[in-house]
C-alpha cells in the first residue's frame, strides 16, 4: 500500500478500529465507534443493498461520471443528491470527498462493479455523482408562500422517508391541501428525483422542498419561529380531536421504522388515526393525506 493511497477495507480491519474520512485524512477511534462529527462533515458510508441500482441498460440522466466532471459540478454548486466512490481512495477522489464534506453531501463507498453498471461499462474513474432533478428551496421561501396565501405556515416534515413514490404522493397531497412546504433530510432519505416528479403529478413544480442536514435542528428553528410540531404516530390523541390550527409542522416517519425517537421527543404532541381493522398502520402517504385534510378542514371551519 503506497503512501498516497488508502484502502478503507484494509484500514478498517486493523486492530478492530474504524476510520472516518475527514478532508482527505483518516482518524481512528479506539472504541470502534465513528468519531463525533460536527457541522456538515461527511463520512464515507458503505452502500447498503437497498441503494443498489438497476439502470435497465441505460445510464441515469442525472448521473455525473468521472473525477473532473464531479469536481467541476461541486465547484459550481450543482445540487448533488449523493456521490458513490469505489473501494479505494486516492488522488483527486480524496479531494472530492473533502469537497462533499464541506457541502454536506452524502458519500457512499461501493463496489467498482456497481459503478461500472451505472455507467453502463463507460469509464467512471471510481466516482459517480447524482444531481438533483429539481432545485431545493429554503424555509424563507416556505414562509413567503404562506404569507402570500394569507395563512399560517403549514409544513410537512418527512423523517427518513426513502420511497420516491411516497414522497411524490405526499408532495401532491400537500399541494392540493394547501400546505406551504415539505422538509426532508439529506441522508437516509429520498431526494427530488424524476420518479418523485412523476409520482407528484406536477406538484413538485409548486411545492417548495427544503433539504436539511439535521431534522432535530430544523424543528428547533421552527419552534423559535412559533410553530407547533405534531408527530403522526401510534398512541397519540385522535387526530380529529386535536387543535391543528395556527403555525403547524406535521412529522411523518419512514415506511418501516416510523419517526425516530430523537425527532419524536422534539415534537409538542402526537396525533394518531384509529385502526379498526386487522392492519395496524397506514402507508406514509395515506397518513399524510388524512392529517393534512384535517388541518384543511379545521382552517376552513374557523
pLDDT given for residue 45 in this prediction: 58
20 and 123 in one domain? yes
Pick from 15-19, 128-132, 292-296: least confident: 15-19
109 and 199 in one domain? no
What is the crossing angle of helices 139-149 and 215-224, to 10°? Answer: 40
Backbone angles phi, psi at 8, to 5 degrees: -60, -35
pLDDT given for residue 47 in this prediction: 54
Which residue's entry shows cell 404516530? 233
Q: Could you read off the pLDDT of 63-107 as tens digits, one per residue? A: 888 888 888 888 888 888 888 888 666 778 888 998 888 888 888
287 and 153 in one domain? yes
111 and 197 in one domain? no
Question: Where in the sequence is the domain holding 178, given as residue range(s)?
Answer: 139-301
Instruction: Provide the number of structural domains found in the chain.
Output: 2
Is the pLDDT higher at 7 or at 235? Answer: 235
Mean pLDDT of all residues in 124-128: 85
Q: Which helix (H) or strand (E) holds 109?
A: strand 107-109
User: Which residue, 131, 159, 181, sits at the end of a domain?
Assistant: 131
Count of other CB atoms within 10 angstroms of residue 165: 15
194 and 170 in one domain? yes
- For residue 186, give the nearest of 109, 83, 96 by alpha carbon: 83
Residue 79 burial (C-beta neighbours within 10 Å; 0-12, 13-18, 19+): middle
Q: Could you read off the pLDDT of 173-187 as tens digits, one per residue? A: 999 999 999 999 988
Q: Could you read off the pLDDT of 10-45 as tens digits, one per residue? A: 444 433 333 334 444 444 444 444 444 333 333 555
100 and 50 in one domain? yes
Mean pLDDT of all residues in 142-156: 96
Mean pLDDT of all residues in 149-173: 94
pLDDT given for residue 27 in this prediction: 43
User: Which residue, 131, 147, 173, sits at the end of a domain?
Assistant: 131
Please check the confidence at residue 124 and state whether its pLDDT lies above 50.
yes
What is the average pLDDT value for the chain, to the nearest integer? Answer: 81
Q: Is the pTM of the predicted complex or chain greater than 0.85?
A: no
pLDDT given for residue 183 in this prediction: 97
pLDDT given for residue 4 in this prediction: 45
271 and 125 in one domain? no
101 and 219 in one domain? no
The answer to whether 269 touches 175, Cβ cutoff 8 Å, is: no
The CATH number given to whatever domain includes residue 278 is 3.40.1280.10
Torsion sign (Cα): 166, 141, 139, 176: negative
169 and 51 in one domain? no
123 and 200 in one domain? no
Alpha-carbon distance of 182 to 137, in angstroms, equals 9
The CATH number given to whatever domain includes residue 56 is 3.30.1330.30
pLDDT-derived band at 147 (thresholds 50, 70, 90) equals very high
281 and 200 in one domain? yes
218 and 117 in one domain? no
Mean pLDDT of all residues in 127-153: 92
Kindly state the DSSP code that residue 105 receives in the 8-state scheme: -
Task: Give the three-class secondary structure for 202.
Answer: coil
pLDDT given for residue 287 in this prediction: 93
Cα 73 to the chain's mean position, in Å? 20
Q: Could you read off the pLDDT of 224-278 as tens digits, one per residue? A: 999 999 999 988 999 999 999 999 999 999 877 889 999 999 999 999 999 888 8
Please check the confidence at residue 121 and state whether its pLDDT lies above 60.
yes
Question: How far from each other are the two terminal CA atoms of the chain, in whole angstroms?
Answer: 70
Alpha-carbon distance of 47 to 243, in angstroms, equals 42
pLDDT given for residue 185 in this prediction: 92
Amino acid at each position: 500500500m503506497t503512501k498516497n493511497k488508502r484502502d478503507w477495507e484494509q484500514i478498517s480491519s486493523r486492530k478492530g478500529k474504524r476510520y472516518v474520512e475527514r478532508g482527505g485524512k483518516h482518524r481512528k477511534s479506539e472504541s470502534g465507534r465513528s468519531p463525533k462529527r460536527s457541522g456538515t462533515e461527511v463520512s464515507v458510508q458503505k452502500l447498503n443493498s437497498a441503494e443498489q441500482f438497476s439502470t435497465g441498460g441505460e445510464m441515469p440522466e442525472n448521473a455525473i461520471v468521472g473525477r473532473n466532471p464531479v469536481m467541476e459540478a461541486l465547484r459550481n454548486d450543482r445540487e448533488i443528491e449523493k456521490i458513490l466512490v469505489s473501494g479505494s481512495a486516492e488522488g483527486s477522489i480524496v479531494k472530492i470527498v473533502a469537497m462533499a464534506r464541506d457541502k454536506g453531501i452524502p458519500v457512499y463507498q461501493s463496489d467498482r462493479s456497481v459503478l461500472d453498471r451505472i455507467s453502463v461499462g463507460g469509464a467512471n474513474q471510481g466516482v459517480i455523482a447524482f444531481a438533483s432533478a429539481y432545485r431545493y428551496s429554503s424555509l424563507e421561501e416556505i414562509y413567503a408562500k404562506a404569507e402570500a396565501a394569507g395563512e399560517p405556515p403549514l409544513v410537512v416534515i418527512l423523517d427518513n422517508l426513502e420511497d420516491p413514490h411516497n414522497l411524490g404522493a405526499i408532495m401532491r397531497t400537500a399541494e392540493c391541501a394547501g400546505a406551504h412546504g415539505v422538509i426532508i433530510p439529506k441522508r437516509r432519505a429520498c431526494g427530488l428525483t424524476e420518479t418523485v416528479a412523476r409520482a407528484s403529478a406536477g406538484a413538485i413544480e409548486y411545492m417548495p422542498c427544503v433539504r436539511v442536514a439535521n431534522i432535530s435542528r430544523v424543528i428547533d428553528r421552527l419552534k423559535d419561529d412559533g410553530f407547533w410540531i405534531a408527530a403522526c404516530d401510534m398512541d397519540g390523541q385522535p387526530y380529529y380531536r386535536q387543535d391543528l390550527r395556527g403555525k403547524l409542522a406535521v412529522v411523518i416517519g419512514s415506511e418501516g421504522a416510523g419517526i425516530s425517537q430523537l425527532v419524536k421527543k422534539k415534537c409538542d404532541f402526537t396525533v394518531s388515526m384509529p385502526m379498526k381493522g386487522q392492519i395496524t398502520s397506514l402507508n406514509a402517504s395515506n397518513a399524510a393525506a388524512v392529517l393534512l385534510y384535517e388541518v384543511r378542514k379545521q382552517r376552513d371551519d374557523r
